[in-house]
Structure 1
Amino acid sequence: MHWICDRSGTDTARGKADMERGGVAEPASQSKVQTLRGEVDELSDKMKENMKGIIKKGEKVVDLLTRSENMKKEAEDFKYRSKEVESKYWWKNVKPITVIVVVVLIVILIIILLATGVIPVSAPVPPVVTSSSKP
């Protein structure tokens, strides 16, 4: 026989032979079994909830990874487009400056050519044609 002390502090004797022959367990041990089953079921439910939580967190991680990859691609596209826009506006700024510089250089060249006499300041006087009259 095995002696077991239950939670109330009383000793309960169970015969191995009674249990093997299909004997009925005592009510105290029945309640212990039910209590243990209840605790096991409760623990099982908590474990299932924890697993669901872990799965949800895993899904959130996958979602975050997908979002971060999309953001990386969008950032690369933004960088490329911003460089295109920068180049476009650089040329828009350079064109008027180039035109102004060319005009100023042409004016300076004309002034130098006029000062050196390469370009005459006044038009040559055309020869005066006198008409001869014959009577």
Structure 2
Amino acid sequence: MPFGNETRDIHKEKEIEKQNRGGGRGKAQNAYTVYEQNFGIIKPIVRESFLAWCHDLGDELVIEGIQLAVQKGGRTYSYLEAILKEWVQAGVTTLEQVTNYEKQKKRSQSTRFFVKNKSKNRAMLDEIRREMQS
């Protein structure tokens, strides 16, 4: 059964590849895989930086960053890195903190949006009233 042997060889190669990437039984492989599934093959020049983020923040946060980047339509390493840098500056270190931080950020953005629109709407309404009175 040559097909069976070929399949086993492919699995062996993938296992060796995992170990070479430092993933083996750790979490780095998971973040690496999630990155490649969403952004494509990681470029060698970016790989070292990406692995440093995984080491510094942990794979869970990096994976969360990848998911957030994809949700927002950003599919580049620089977009992911901007998210991770923002979290570091905000002192975010756990998934729970990420969730709270992003919720708070969303609330403050929506509040600013409504306030800005109310101001514009009032100004427009005032202008319409003046025009109607003229």
Q: Using structure 1 for the length normalisation, give the TM-score.
A: 0.30
Taking CA–CA contacts closer than 8 Å with sequence separation of 6 or more, which of the two structures ends up with the larger relative contact order?
Answer: 2
Which structure is higher in helix share? 2
Q: Rg larger in 1 or in 2?
A: 1
Q: Using structure 2 for the length normalisation, give the TM-score.
A: 0.30
